[in-house]
Amino acid sequence: MPRANDPGGPFASTATIPAPPPLDVTELPSGVVSPGGGTSIVDDDPSGPITIVVWSPTVVADGCPVPFVVDESPHAPNSNETRAARAQPWTLTCAILACVGFELPLPPGPITNGEFVPAPPSRHDAEVLREMLARSDAAARRSGVDRRMFLRGAGGVAAALAVYNLAACSSKRSAQPATTVTTTSAPGGSFSVPPPEDIPACVEALANQGEFIFDVHTHHVMPDRPWVQNAPETVGLVEHMVPRDCMAANPLECVNRASYINDIFLASDTTVALLSDVPNSGADDAPIPFDDAIDTQQFAAELAHAGAPRVLVHNVIAPNVGDLQARLDEMTANVATGKVAAFKVYNAWGPDGRGYSLEDPAIGLPVIQRAHDLGVKVMVAHKGLPLVNFDTAHNGPGDMVAVSRLFPDMQFVVFHAAWDVNRREGAYAPNARIGIDTLIEALDRHNVPPNSNVWVDLGTVWRQLLTRPDQAAHALGKLLSRVGEDRVLWGTDAIWYGSPQAQIMAFRTFEISAEFQERFGYPPLTDDLRRKVFGLNAAKLFGMDPEETRCALVGDPFTAAQPTAAALRNEGALPSPWAPKGPTTRRDLLRLFANATTPWVPS
């Protein structure tokens, strides 16, 4: 974001609103933001610097104030005024997003799926957001389209991706790279998009390309099940995942089965989805008990009546809660339904914050052995992406890679690819203690070749890193080259982030630079490779025939209803497809924790 005494900044060529004159920061009042202008102290990190922001009385759109950073203190002041400001922190990015109404398809800044606390938005994030709003507004005017309608379509996505390209170029000129990142002369990742005002070209580049898209990482809740009484902390979390424009008497209804069907199949190009759940110990505290997951599968099948499955289901197992034999018997009973596509564990979660190892002969190995004996050969584990109150000692991927050697006829899926929000992705560093590099190190240590029986999914990883194209190129490049081009799966963590359509559009246009390919051995993101990641790899894992499924879906009512649903969204009769089910920002999640009566533990 341009400082008041440096109105140029990396986006000077397109900035349309001049910065206010320099101010004496010692005279600034404490953080109150008003649409007519004012000042704010951005202070989400009590130990870090404080950013003083001036809000111009000139607005971008819909009454949103335009921010300019005036100064940033080298250390945290100790004044009473600052302490008072800390009592009610104001996050810059959140302020603008709330004003815009979550219309932006891919807003910048660290975000969350509600399970972990993201970093506060940076000066760079606020600068990108301001440019994104300005470019979208200008493109909408040039194309003669209402701004809100423009943002809901391919043009809005193209505008966002174009700004990320520009930001990557700017950061190459100005940023001091972290020690874990190998610098290059040009961005290592970029989005190939037409000018956003050329809406027909954007539609052609970003719209459905006929891919078979299999999202292996999706969620929703059941609003009227026992978890509402038995897991109040989880209820509080999910209630913060409700769209801000939810009008239902029970807000949980806005993240229910119907919302799931709409976001996944009517508001996106997803063909098949795998329905998951958050950590829980069974039907009494599960936001979507296994029986209800089956009902969602059946509900989708009845709506589609096309003869091809649209929803598959996980069975989440918590063997470290209660009697192990009861958990094993539960696995047996659920498999008898014929509906279990995979078992999933959160082995970093458990009573009193203690997890367990998948190699543990008393807990982990019996679960895998039971799955094997029952004929369910796909085992999924949440790895990396540290959730609140998780046992970090058991959140790494090493144990899963190790057990893959003990069960060579099973397939092991590392959810989130062991990515960690606390590590910046760069070239492979074998001594890393967290992140994707720990997965690669484990594969090397256990002599697991590429395209073996260890897989990864991109849930939350892609949504987080697409805002940082260089990091996205490193993450994808490492996974595709080391885990294998046939072992990377498409996952989005929808519907927590809203419809996955913007993520799909972004991936269609993403490219890894020739320089990164040459220097680091990363493969090019060809159309064929994208199709593998989008769904062909998952089809092999779960034994589906993509062509047979596609043919069966020709007359699918979901497909036929998509144009009508899109028209209703443009008219405002349906919510924006980009509306997240929050809390997506650090401010949202910290506010949730501050208001909680007990510490949050997933389910």
Residue 408 is which amino acid? P
Closest CA to 585 of 217, 122, 131, 218: 122
Same domain? 245 vs 369:
yes
Domain contains 510: yes
- Is the same domain home to 285 and 372? yes
Among residues 262, 207, 304, the alpha carbon closest in space to that of 553 is found at 304
Q: Any idea what DSSP says for residue 383?
A: -
Q: Give the Cα separation of 92 and 125 in Å (integer).
A: 9
Strand partners for 311: 273
pLDDT at 126: 78
Residues 261 and 184 in one domain: no
Summarize pLDDT for 233-277 with one digit per residue, the tens: 778 767 766 666 666 778 888 888 988 988 898 889 999 999 998
Phi-psi region of 338 (alpha: psi -120 to 50; beta: other; left: phi over 0): left
More confident call, 71 vs 118: 118
SS (H, E, C) 109-169: CCCCCCCCCCCCCCHHHHHHHHHHHHHHHHHHHHHCCCHHHHHCCHHHHHHHHHHHHHHHH
Residues forming beta bridges with residue 214, ordered by sequence position: 272
Whole-number Å distance between alpha carbons of 467 and 255 = 25
Highest-confidence segment of 79-93, 125-139, 294-308, 389-403: 389-403
Across the chain, mean pLDDT equals 76
Residues 431, 486: Cα–Cα separation, whole Å? 26
Confidence category of residue 409, pLDDT binned at 50, 70, 90: very high
Question: Residues 238, 126: one domain?
Answer: no
**Looking at residue 314, what is its pLDDT?**
92
**pLDDT higher than threshold 80 for residue 47:** no
Beta carbons within 8 Å of 47's beta carbon, 6+ residues apart: 76
Strands 272-275 and 214-218: parallel
Of residues 573, 462, 570, the one with CA closest to residue 509? 462
Per-residue confidence (pLDDT) for residue 402, from 0 to 100: 98
Kindly state whether residues 60 and 179 are assigned to the same domain. Answer: yes
Bridge-partner residues for 454, per DSSP? 412
Q: What is the model's pLDDT at position 453?
A: 98
Note down the domain range covering 133: 25-204+578-595
pLDDT of residue 114: 54
Residue 326 lies inside a defined structural domain of this protein = yes
Q: Using alpha carbons, list the distances in angstroms from residue 429 to 397, 433, 436.
A: 16, 9, 10
Kindly write down the DSSP assignment for every residue of 284-350, as one continuous string: TT-SS-HHHHHHHHHHHHHHH-SSS--EEEEEEE-TTSS-HHHHHHHHHHHHTTT-EEEEEE-TT--
The CATH number of residue 328's host domain is 3.20.20.140
| Residue 313 predicted with pLDDT over 90 | yes
Q: Are residues 485 and 543 in the same domain?
A: yes
pLDDT(189) > 50: yes
CA–CA gap between residue 195 and residue 155 (Å, rounded): 8
Same domain membership, residue 526 and residue 477: yes
Report the pLDDT averaged over residues 39-63.
38
The rounded percent of the chain whose pLDDT value lies above 90 is 43
Phi-psi sector, 3: left (phi>0), alpha (psi -120 to 50), beta = beta
**Is the pLDDT confidence value at 123 over 90?**
no
Domain count for the chain, please give it.
2
Residue 477 pLDDT: 98
Alpha-helical segments (H) within 152-219: 154-174, 199-206
- Taking a C-beta distance cutoff of 8 angstroms, is the pair 314, 276 a contact? yes
* Residue 344 near residue 315 (C-beta atoms within 8 A): yes
Q: What does the alpha-carbon distance between residue 466 and residue 481 come to, in Å, rounded to a whole number? A: 19
pLDDT at 170: 62
pLDDT for res 119: 63
**Are 485 and 451 within 8 A, CB to CB?**
yes
pLDDT value at residue 195: 92
Q: What is the pLDDT of residue 91?
A: 35
pLDDT over threshold 70, residue 387: yes
Higher-confidence residue of 322 and 282: namely 322
Rg (CA), the chain: 24
CA distance 202 to 432: 40
**Highest mean pLDDT range out of 131-135, 137-141, 289-293, 299-303?**
289-293
Residue range 551-600, pLDDT digits in tens:
766 666 766 777 776 666 666 656 666 555 544 444 443 443 344 443 33
Amino acid 306: pLDDT: 61
- pLDDT band, residue 66 (cuts 50/70/90): very low
Contacts of 155 (CB under 8 A, 6+ apart): 136, 139, 140, 143, 145, 196, 197, 198, 199, 202
Residue 150 has pLDDT above 80, yes or no: yes
* pTM confidence score: 0.78
Contacts (Cβ under 8 Å, ≥6 apart) of 34: 55, 65
Torsion (CA) 238, 242, 246, 247 in degrees, nearest 10: 10
- Alpha helices (runs of H) in 359-500, residue ranges in sequence order: 364-374, 398-406, 436-445, 461-465, 469-478
Please say whether the beta carbons of 70 and 23 come within 8 A. Answer: yes
Decide if 587 is inside a domain.
yes
226 belongs to a structural domain: yes
pLDDT-derived band of residue 182, with 50, 70 and 90 as boundaries? very low
pLDDT of residue 4: 29
Nearest to 102 by CA among 575, 506, 566: 575
Asked, for residue 556, whether it belongs to a domain, the answer is yes
More confident call, 21 vs 401: 401
Q: pLDDT class for 344, splitting at 50, 70, 90?
A: very high
pLDDT of res. 544? 93
Assess whether 432 and 528 both reside in one domain: yes
Across 505-515, average pLDDT: 96
Question: Could you tell me the pLDDT band of residue 185, with boundaries at 50, 70 and 90?
Answer: low
**Do residues 178 and 322 share a domain?**
no
Rounded percentage of the chain residues whose pLDDT exceeds 70: 68
**Residue 1 belongs to some domain of the structure:** no
Name which of 220-234, 426-440, 550-564 the model is least confident about: 550-564
Rounded distance between C-alpha atoms, residue 580 and residue 584, angstroms: 7
Instruction: Please provide the size of the chain in residues.
Output: 603
Residues 423 and 502 in one domain: yes
**Looking at residue 147, what is its pLDDT?**
81
Q: How much is the pLDDT for 44?
A: 39
Q: Which residue has the higher pLDDT, 392 or 505?
A: 505
Quick one: 243 and 179 in the same domain? no
Q: Check whether residue 554 and residue 589 sit in a common domain.
A: no
Q: Worst-scoring range by mean pLDDT, 74-78, 462-466, 512-516? A: 74-78
Q: With contact defined as beta carbons under 8 Å apart, do 435 and 417 qualify?
A: no
Neighbouring residues of 301: CB distance < 8 A, sequence distance ≥ 6: 309, 310, 311
Higher pLDDT among residues 31 and 331, named by residue: 331
Q: Note the pLDDT of residue 335.
A: 98
